[in-house]
Amino acid sequence: MKTLPNLRRFLQSEFALRSLQLCVGAIAIGLIFWKLQYSTQAICCGDFDGYYHIKWSRMLWESLRHGGFPPQFTWLPLTTLDPKNYVDHHLLFHVFQIPFTWFGDLRVGAKISATIFGSVAVFSCYWLLVRYRIRYPLVWLLALLACSAPFLYRLSMAKAPPFAIIYLVIGIYFLFTRKYWPLVPLAFIFALTYDMFVLLILASFIWTAVIGWTERRFEWRPIAWVLAGTVAGLVINPYFPTNLQLFYEHLRIKITASDFSTKVGNEWYPYDSWEFIGNTLLACVAMFVGYLSFDPSDRKRSQHSLFFLVLATVLMIMTARWRRIAEYWPPFAVMFAAFALQARLMGTRSMLKRSLDTPKQLELLPDPPPSVFTKEVELKEVLQTMGVAVIAVLIAVVLFFNVQAMSKDIATSARHETYKAGAEWMRANVPAGERVFNTDWDDFPRLFYYDPAHNYVSGLDPTYLYDRDKELSELYDSITLGKEEDPGPLIRDRFGARYVFSDNSDHDDFFFKARESGWFDIVYEDRDCTILYIRDQKQEPEAEEPDTGEAERSEPQQDNR
């Protein structure tokens, strides 16, 4: 008979309530990311990098099974990622992906892993709010999910950024609880997982500054332990010391206030002003609420909110410069607002309680003061609850439209089969190990996924070719933009390639020059891509056949070399 009272007490306990809140949050987050992920049958989302990551994870697994870890990377020999200098700066991320490569279809494994990793990243932010007893946690959960449409989009990619958020939240928890020594293994793992470990270093410096301002002392341990773990992760690394050179190259090329020396991915360019506000409206509102709510008068109580104020502000500035930070700033803007409001509410309650507890105040109150005070408090609680409910509904509406917009956007991404037929033709007809001149660096991940039997001219990032050979990189741009009259001999002699792979959407000028030059045969063509072969001798270009109105071609042309 004692079981029922014990069960009732447990269900009414704070632990049960928090557990229920976490369960509800986990389910809601998982469902949203599952919906986004399966808005397309391809590996999400707009870029093709997820194809490279899951394929390389599978190759890591094969090398582990055969005792050859890490495997040699031979697919971009003209870049700084050549077999001698290749660095896997997502090493542990690829290791974490390995269990998902055991599915029969790598595509399925990539989509499931992306769903889980993205969900855990958002859940970690929500867990921190629940852990610190932030009021109305489910409302803040809605805010985390609705804070930015690009935030949901980018976390749905089969890439490493979710781990940066997870590690950063864990690091913040260690900082807030003054458990500094675990920052060493955390920073070590972070440095081996993803090169955004600089965010944890930034957090340690901010926390030291916060302690200095609020407690008037220098707390050196967070910085020391994070730097120690980071250095260990960079040095105890199968790619050391080349990884340091690659990291320096990333900083030198990407962290600049001016334009980039070569064309890079869109994620490294800034949003325009209205696009920035439109994509991050709720995050902007959260920052505004946080700034208004922040109260620096109580230094001790404002530690957490001050930390988030500085961190979120720095991330906001970075997002304004590089949209690449769009997956980091919005959730921390929401957490800034949550902690700032919590500190303000706690401070107001404490002041009210102290004022009512003083004998002088009690003498001034009419008799009986407790009932009057109780009614006033109840009225305020009712009004506050109604206000929170209205806010929750508004945030839910924003979330609905964000999810719908991102689902439609993801649904328009390239089909999973894009380039598959062309890549399979190359595997069957082009001798293994030959170099292929790909006219777009960002096509490489799919080519690597479908046709790892050949190597390619540029891929993963155009700066890798630029850093290795600036002149060759500029020639590559000139050829692919159709600025060279006779591109055939240049591709053959300077790049060592006889085959050219090109998508059919962005290279009309190149195709025109190639066709007019008399150096190329089209050996394969379908609706997605065209493959050309460079002849031994220049020939007079053939007259163009009249347009038959045929929109697509699914069968390859015959090799007429």
Q: CA angle, 455 as apex, 454 and 458 as ends, to 5°? A: 145
pLDDT of residue 370: 53
Angle between helices 198-215 and 221-235 in degrees, nearest 10? 170
Return the closest-CA partner of residue 77 out of 520, 444, 531: 444
Q: Where are the domains of the chain?
A: 14-61+88-346, 420-534
pLDDT tens-digit profile of 261-284? 555 555 656 667 677 787 888 999
Q: DSSP 3-state assignment of 501?
A: strand
- Give the whole-angstrom CA distance, residue 167 versus residue 528: 39
Q: pLDDT per residue over 166-212, tens digit each?
A: 999 999 999 999 999 999 999 999 999 998 999 999 999 999 999 99
* Residue for token pair 């093709």: 48
Query: Residue 542 pLDDT > 70, yes or no?
Result: no
State the average pLDDT over residues 142-164.
93
- Per DSSP bridges, beta strands 499-503 and 529-534 are antiparallel
Report residue 341: phi and psi, to 5°: -65, -40
Residue 134 DSSP class: -
Query: Residue 275: how many CB atoms within 10 A of its CB?
Result: 12
Beta strands in 50-122 (DSSP E): none
User: How many C-alpha atoms does 500 have within 13 Å on its Cβ side?
Assistant: 29
Among 109-118, 177-186, 222-231, 517-526, which stretch is predicted with the lowest mean pLDDT? 517-526
Q: How far apart are CA 107 and CA 159, in angstroms?
A: 13
Nearest to 130 by CA among 6, 281, 26, 7: 26
Task: Supply 334's token pair.
Answer: 């929401």
β partners of residue 503: 529
pLDDT at 548: 40
* CA–CA gap between residue 54 and residue 73 (Å, rounded): 15
Q: pLDDT band at 9, cuts 50/70/90?
A: low
3-state secondary structure of 438: strand
pLDDT in tens, 44-86: 887 799 999 999 999 999 999 988 888 999 999 999 999 999 9
Q: Give me the percent of the chain exceeding a pLDDT of 70.
A: 84
Averaged pLDDT, 296-306: 82
CA distances from 51 to 43, 157, 398, 434 (A): 7, 10, 31, 21
Parallel, antiparallel, or unpaired for β 520-525 and 499-503?
A: unpaired
Residues 348-365 as b/e (b if ≥16 CB within 10 A, e otherwise) read eeeeeeeeeeeeeeeeee
Q: How confident is the model over 81-110, as pLDDT tens digits?
A: 999 999 999 999 999 999 999 988 999 999
Total-model pTM: 0.86
- Under the banding of pLDDT at 50, 70 and 90, the label for residue 385 is confident
In tens, the pLDDT along 305-355 reads 999 999 999 999 888 887 777 889 999 999 999 999 987 776 554 544 444
Evaluate if residue 159 carries a pLDDT over 70: yes
- Residue 416 structure tokens: 């999973």
